[in-house]
Amino acid sequence: MAAPSPDLSTVASRLLGDLLARIQDGRWGVGTVLPGERVLMAEFSVSRVALREALAALRALGVLDTAHGRRSRVRPLGAEVLAWLLPLVLPADDAHAARHMLEVRLALEPQVAGLAARHFSAADEARLAAAVQDTANHAAAGGPAFVAADLAFHHALAESCGNPLLHALVTALGGIYAGFVRENAADSLTVRRQAALDHAAILAAVRSRDSQRATAQMQQHLLATASRRAKQDASPAE
């Protein structure tokens, strides 16, 4: 059950937790149309005001989809919802944000690369090859276009791994990473070119369906990138 929210009345906060519990335990699965207001008011013994407060909070969280003139429906949570919430856990101005981000990426993305190699298909080929090429194309100029291309490769790899939860987590974390890069680092040309080469090496391992090599290549890529950026921060810009 969710913790009470300070922005809601006490009754609405309790009701929000009760409604979320029904979604979390599967009683209201994705696509379920919620009962009407009168039914919910009677079932939970709450006022219309409290009910509407709780429903508004669920809509703000992205849990409910309400079309005009229709009752609320439970919607699937995409990466965008995680992207809204994760910055509250790891704000960009946290002095340890870079280390925390690296630790999470190291825990997730090597496994993502290994799974992508196991599940690799013809459909993945074009998407991943285009992402690798896009990273290489933007390496010289750098800037936001390179950051976007870099992230697009990691997102494409996560999409290919066959695990929707990992895909959502990597995509959401990418948004925080992009913000951190923009605020705290201006990658050197050497770093950008090496990142493009690393992406190509990861794709080669995935393409050959070599799960162990793909996992190792991604781990090496993340560790080497962190090391290069640490050295770059300690030296004058190119």
In this prediction, residue 234 has a pLDDT band, given cuts at 50, 70 and 90, of low
Q: What is the pLDDT of residues 184-193, one digit of tens each?
A: 445 678 888 9
Q: Does residue 2 carry a pLDDT above 50?
A: no
- More confident position, 177 or 117: 117
pLDDT of residue 238: 46
Helix (H, G, I), strand (E, B) or coil at 78: coil
Tell me the whole-structure pTM to 2 decimals: 0.70
User: What residue ranges do the domains of the chain occupy?
Assistant: 10-74, 79-233
Q: What is the pLDDT of residues 108-140, one digit of tens each?
A: 999 999 999 999 999 899 999 999 999 999 999
* Mean per-residue pLDDT over the chain, rounded: 84
Question: How many angstroms separate the CA atoms of 233 and 52, rounded?
Answer: 50
Question: How many angstroms separate the CA atoms of 115 and 81, rounded?
Answer: 24
Class of 10-74 in CATH:
mainly alpha
Percent of the chain at pLDDT > 70 equals 81
3-class SS letters over 107-119: HHHHHHHHHHHHH
In this prediction, residue 39 has a pLDDT band, given cuts at 50, 70 and 90, of very high
DSSP string, 22-64: HHHTTSS-TTPBPPPHHHHHHHHT--HHHHHHHHHHHHHTT-E
pLDDT of residue 219: 96
Fold that domain 79-233 belongs to in CATH: Four Helix Bundle (Hemerythrin (Met), subunit A) (1.20.120)
In this prediction, residue 227 has a pLDDT band, given cuts at 50, 70 and 90, of confident
How many alpha carbons lie under 13 Å from residue 117 in its C-beta half-sphere? 22
- C-alpha torsion 145→149→151→157, nearest 10: 170
